[in-house]
Amino acid sequence: MPKLQSGKKELRKSEKRKIHNQKIKENLKDAVKNAKKGIEAKDAKAKELLAQALKALDKAAQKKIIKKNTSNRKKSRLQKKFNLANKVN
């Protein structure tokens, strides 16, 4: 535990940030899961779910909760799954 007042304040700030970041990560994971389920089930709302997941990935990368390349990789894989599921033969 910190002894100085500034150290205590930094600890409080970091705890608040941690909780905030965890919420964003949790929402991100839920959005990606829902998009994957919608794509696999060939749901009519799959396109909307995909858009929400891509938006959540972009926001998380913008706020530096996940790295930019991680975001791009996940977006690419989701889009690829979506395109394969909706491919017309």
Span between the terminal Cα atoms of the chain, in Å = 63
Taking the complete model, does pTM exceed 0.75, yes or no?
yes
| 47-78 tens-digit pLDDT | 999 999 999 999 999 999 999 999 999 999 99
Provide the residue type at 15 as one letter.
E
pLDDT band at 88 (very low <50, low <70, confident <90, very high): low
Q: What is the mean pLDDT of the chain?
A: 94
Distances from the Cα of 56 to the Cαs of 7, 14, 65, 79, in angstroms? 33, 23, 11, 14
Domains defined for the chain, CATH in brackets: 5-85 (1.20.58.110)
In the prediction, which pLDDT does 55 show?
Answer: 96
